Amino acid sequence: MITLTLEQIALAVNGTLHLQGSDLTADSVTDGMVHTDSRDTVPGSIFVAKPGEVTDGHLFAPAAVDRGATLLIVERHLDLPVAQIVVPDAVTALGDLATFVVARVRAAGNLKIVAVTGSNGKTTTKNLIRAVLERVGPTVAARASFNNEVGAPLTMLELTQDTRFLVAEMGASGRGEIARLIRMARPDVGIVLKVGLAHAGEFGGIEATVLAKTEMVTDLLETDVAILNTDDPRVAGMAAHTAARIVWFGQYGDEGVRATEVHASARGTTFTLQLASGEKRPVAFRVLGEHHVMNALAAAAAAEVLGVGIDDIVSALESVQTAERWRMQVLGGRDGVTVINDAYNASPDSMTAALKTLAQINIPGRRTIAVLGEMSELGELAGEEHDRVGLLAVRLNISQLIVVGRAARRMHISTINEGSWDGESAFVESADEAFELLRDTVQPGDTVLVKSSNSAGLRFLGDRLGEWFS
């Protein structure tokens, strides 16, 4: 974080500074990292005691102090010998501090901010943009999926006075959440990747999802840039709701950043990248799955807008091997067995893309196995969408389907009701049962996809299978 006095921090978060028991003063300065998990704190850290759904961060403040935290941001004064700022709401204070820091860095230098949202692909696109921008200047980007009212400001607070680029990932489960993040760090470049059924149950339907994602571009200025997916009509329609300059990306449009000659294999995807300027280069993109080409196009569009040349863009894209842990992560290798662990998240769109990739990369004569768990947060659409995924597995001629957990059981039911299948689908209650079944039935040369929402926990099954077949 940038260097601030304790008094400046207290003013930024609208809090009351308490110094009893501390050897610091209001004029003492800190540039320590900000954490909401006491396990992450190191000497000089700032610990924000955030109340949670299950526990309360105030209970872990002593541990944070023991690990070296020199300042606490709390909702009530604690009997601890450390400087404390008492605020009405710790999460609001975290956002207020991030807003203050971003404004200070922007005012002092040449900071450019890129924000990414969409129902799928946010983390992958963020990582690709970071890989490109790091080649031309100091870059801060979200760790993992730090994209909500806590994770996004924690990323913003990693800025220093030398930071040239901030890449912010912005997720939402309801109206107003992206707008709140936009107010913290008003982007120069706003990207909308796709509008799908991810979190549709929480949003209240697809139209509500569109309205929420549109918040990314509604407040952009004429001097800003909105990067929109021309292949998604819902995203393309957002052009009517922004004053910003539009840059399109897609595989089927006639303008903007495009991909042609796309060919997917087990080694990744090759394509020809064409920038909005008309420049073209071949790209050997090693992130598995043709659907990730769209994320690469969005990253290339952002980089071009920010003045990065096509050679640096292509070199950076080709350097990335894995989107992120648990996202189309290739594991295994023993006896030619490939394990694809893509179980960090799942929606109907991403599940469809993963199954199509599994079918697409398969070598003739070898088997494909899909180990699938629940797609969460779909609300009343859950049953229908799980049925649809099961039927897709049949139509793609996946060799074996293993459905894990009662919440996903309709996938299994829908497949066994298809007359073209006879015993190719199995249902198990738990990840442990799935592991035992796979351990005994996987054959040399098989490709195994593990895919589910985070809440189903199959990402750990994917890790376990990857280790077993390593």
Retrieve residue 17's tokens: 């500074």
3 state DSSP class of 34: strand
Distance of CA 379 to the CA centre of its chain: 21
Residues 6+ apart with CB under 8 A from 256: 230, 247, 248, 249, 250, 276, 301
Is residue 462 marked as binding? Answer: no
- Angle at which helices 382-395 and 409-416 pack, to 10 degrees? 50
Separation between Cα atoms, residue 193 and residue 380, nearest integer Å: 24
Is residue 289 marked as binding? Answer: no
Torsion of CA 68, 74, 78, 80, to 10 degrees: 10
Separation between Cα atoms, residue 389 and residue 340, nearest integer Å: 18
Separation between Cα atoms, residue 461 and residue 78, nearest integer Å: 41
Retrieve residue 127's tokens: 């990582």
Q: How many helices (H) and strands (E) does the chain have?
A: 16, 22
Q: Which is nearest to 348 in space by CA: 148, 215, 201?
A: 201
Length of the chain in residues, anyone?
470
Is residue 119 marked as binding? Answer: yes
Q: What are phi and psi of 78, to 5 degrees?
A: -110, 150
Is residue 194 marked as binding? Answer: no
Neighbour count for residue 236 (Cβ, 10 Å): 17
Is residue 118 marked as binding? Answer: yes
Is residue 336 marked as binding? Answer: no
Q: What are phi and psi of 341, to 5 degrees?
A: -95, 105
Is residue 122 marked as binding? Answer: yes
Sequence ranges of the binding site: 118-124
Sequence ranges of the binding site for ATP: 118-124
